[in-house]
Structure 1
Amino acid sequence: MVFDVYAERVGRLLSMMDREGLDGFFVLVVEGLNWESAYYLSGYRGSSAAFLVSRHGGVLITDGRYLAQARSQSPFEVEDQGGRSLNEALLDRIRRMGLRRVGFEADRIFHSTFLELHSHLGGSLVDCSRFMPELRRTKDRREADLIAEAARICADAFLETLSLASPGMTEREFASMLEQKIVSSGAEGGWGSHSFIVASGPRSALPHGVPTDRVLCQGEWFTVDFGARYQGYVCDVTRNVAVGSLDPWARDVYQVLVAAQDQAVRALMEGERQASQVDQAARRVIQEAGMGDLFSHGLGHGLGLEVHEAPRVSSRSQDVLAPGDVITVEPGIYLEGKGGLRVEDDYLISSQGVECLSSPLPREMFVIR
């Protein structure tokens, strides 16, 4: 990525700061937590840093382990925190720059960190937790292409994994093989923040069923919710796999889910932008099939540098979808004691329409024998 994009993003951040009467804003990365926002603004992907933005520009503060990395990845000034803690170095820079009203992400720092910073800055700290979700929500073409490339890698890896899978292997073995294939196909890895969902038989009724040592059995099916990270960006896809033969109930449920997903996408293509109405378009199909009570979660969510980002697509969402949003559309039906299925794909909303970024992976009920 050319460095100009970071200047543009910091420029948008400065406009938000002006509206709030701020003369400074910082993001903290501690033990790798919150690297996404620092990367988005500065290009830096290390596991410890503070990125401070003001009218004077941006400054990236980190320690000796990351100085060379920071200077190669970011166009902004890099400051060595030296023998100081990260908090001490940040506070010192804020004082030297004379910043009086400084925004921060209250929902992205430890309470102990807040107490230390507040004890020195007091009322000059302003919670601006909404800034980064708002900035990161709108994806440019390059970001969408990175998500699409992650999805292409996932498609290749999933199909290869299916060709090697067989009844008798465990959920955990399938998940491990899939992630290994994703890495060998060119991705950084899976999501990183949590494991894939691989849930078989009655366990497939668990929307977030993490892999176990349960064996994939003949006559059952399993649901796989997975993704890849490519140059920082992730995809999020769900497919279902029959073992040996396709259960008639699962076949019927799958057809309902495909119709529900199609209806939601149709609503998007026709210009519907109220997230709650898009959710309702899919939910109505499931309700008409007599399974409305079995769709227990929202229709989707935004994604980008994280698996779950703004906006939310659910019956309670107040979000209005807009060009640049990348969202999942993932209707699911779950019957406790029997099992469940989900169909999930990733879509870019643009001024030209709606684009499925995960289209390389066929939307079908797969079978292993």
Structure 2
Amino acid sequence: MRALTWHGKHDVRVDTVDDPEILNPRDAIIKITSTAICGSDLHLYDGYIPTMQAGDILGHEFMGEVVEVGGKSTLKKGQRVVVPFTISCGSCYHCGKHQYSACDNGLPADNQDIAQTLYGQPMAGLFGYSHMTGGYSGGQAEYVRVPFSDVGPIVIPDGIEDEKVLFLSDILPTGWMAAENAEIEPGDTVAVWGCGPVGLFAVQSAFLMGAERVIAIDHFPRRLELARQFGAETINFEESATYEALMEMTGGIGPDACIDAVGLEAHGLFVDNVIDQIKASTFLGTDRPHSIRQAILACRKGGRVSMPAVYGGFVDKFPLGAFMQKGLTLKTGQTHVQHYLPGLLNAIMEEKIDTTFLISHTLPLENAPDGYRIFHDKQNEATKVVLKPGFDRVELDI
């Protein structure tokens, strides 16, 4: 089959690789109909996430048709399914609490030591996202093996096009959980750092949860315009000082809740961020956590901070004093996708949530390297890139 493989920083290729096979009775094989490039994939593309190996198949946002099942799978051939990016067993202590991204059995035994060393405990497995998260082949391919297929995938009713439900695999539940973790109360003012896919879904979700005002922060004009279409007020951090603008907009109090949807590759010529970039380039540091620092400083006293954004390692200059003195609450974590799927699918079917607005580019899988370059280099124009297997490569002027 054809699949997108990682070969190093800014080096991804569509190669011919072995077809996946059933390895466990709970497995299923999915023929991919749509897959997407995630902002988290750009962390792999930029070489920020360790334990990648040449030839690894990328992709954790995908859906398709069931073509083969193991003896203990609950899926049936011919069903259309969306697959969560988290690989969770459904029966361990954490899965029993619907904390699927903390699953004890999602990682193969050989991979658990890596996560144990870095993070103290292993987490759930993830599709296409390094050997630290299981070394599983991803879904930017023609076919993929889905472990624990009796727990993860959700069956999609006939008549609903892929584009309406594809993002159930990751970014829609992630944006929803980000807003939920912010513990939004009616009348709240919520600030969202980053108007990428997760940030925009967090904006949409915050309003649905009762926020009176949402203030979206970014520097790409098109993404800020998309946020305004949902009713958000906006701050372009290249034109205004974010902290000062938030204080002015909230009467000096600060937002009730702040959501960091930026993560470890923060942009901007800020003193702390420039220092972080120098440290990362000289291997003296890993992440660039400017946005979470700013969210903590801007949040009102007694407020809530939600951090759906990806961070990979250690950070310094963390405003722990401000965090403690202001009495803030921080909630974070990989998304418990399986927990949110039924409710969010119903919301899509009832047209309470729209996802199609986000798609800016649809390309054949054979153009996946082009798609990564576009998503990486043209973030104002490229809000989401969807890949379709089975189509011939096209020539692009990029």
TM (normalized to structure 2)? 0.27
TM (normalized to structure 1)? 0.28
Q: Which has the higher contact order (CA 8 A, sep 6+)?
A: 2
Q: Flag the structure with larger Rg.
A: 1
